[in-house]
Amino acid sequence: MGRTLDVDKHREKSQQILDAAWRCFVRDGFRGASTTDICREAKISPGHLYHYFPSKEAIVEALIEKSLQSIASHFDGIAQEEDVIQSLLSKVHEGFGKPYRPNMLLNIEMLAEASRNPSIAKILQRYTQRMRSLLADRLRDGQERGQVDRQLDPDLAATILIGLVDGVRGMAIKDPSLDTAKTVELLKSLMTRLVAPEASKNAPSDQPKKRVLNVR
């Protein structure tokens, strides 16, 4: 009982530290944020940090793990809706908009870090695989229902879809004047076209496509 409480408290404190680290990493990046910064943000002493995490890298790993878990759980929701394409598009909005910018920045940090740090690469790859599987399964569902092009390789398409959303999200840095709303609309249209079956590609779903594209 007491043991359980201790474990809970320990977990809670770890969480507080991770929250502080999240803020620091978003602000300064994995390399740019120092353990001192994190401790100050978490309001603990520098020595105490090592009571909860054996190293700075462990913090980064835990943070990435947690962050990806949260994103992946968003994907889980996909499986429950009826219309495959609609359920897919409904998730797109979430990655855009101001409050998601921190996550986007962390995503880029993760990519940068994973390209150099094998243990972080593994985490990233594990979650990517999981999310891609979920997406691919959904696409397969759609193919069975005739909502998705049967000639598409679901795994490959899922990969491309993830890359597409990631890449367009990153454009916010390359072009700060980007109009998010219009971007999301065109992005959705593009995703629809990617997965829609041949026959319906002229009129993908009931989406009022013409208005969407007519943005000039």
**Contacting positions for DNA (CB under 7 A):** 6, 9-10, 13, 33-37, 44-51, 54-57
Displacement of CA 75 from its chain's centroid (Å): 9
* Least spacing, CB of residue 58 vs DNA, in Å: 8
CB of 184 to its own copies, least distance (A): 10
Phi, psi (5° rounding) for residue 56? Answer: -65, -40
Of 81 and 134, nearer to its own copies (C-beta) is: 134
- Backbone phi and psi for residue 154, each to the nearest 5 degrees, phi listed first: -60, -40
CB of 40 or CB of 209, closer to DNA:
40
- Indicate the residue among 56 and 140 with the shorter CB distance to DNA: 56
Q: Which does 163 bind (CB under 5 to 8 A by kind): its own copies, DNA, none?
A: its own copies
Binding residues for its own copies (CB under 8 A): 27-29, 31-32, 105, 108-109, 111-112, 114-116, 121, 124-125, 128-129, 132, 149, 151-153, 156-157, 159-160, 162-171, 173-176, 178-179, 182-183, 186-187, 190, 193-194, 198, 201-202, 210, 213-216
Using CA atoms, how far apart are residues 88 and 136, in angstroms rounded to an integer? 11
Q: Which residues contact 70 (CB under 8 A, 6 or more apart)?
A: none
**How far from the centroid of its chain's Cα atoms is residue 213's Cα?**
26
- 109: CB partners within 8 A, 6+ apart: 25, 29, 30
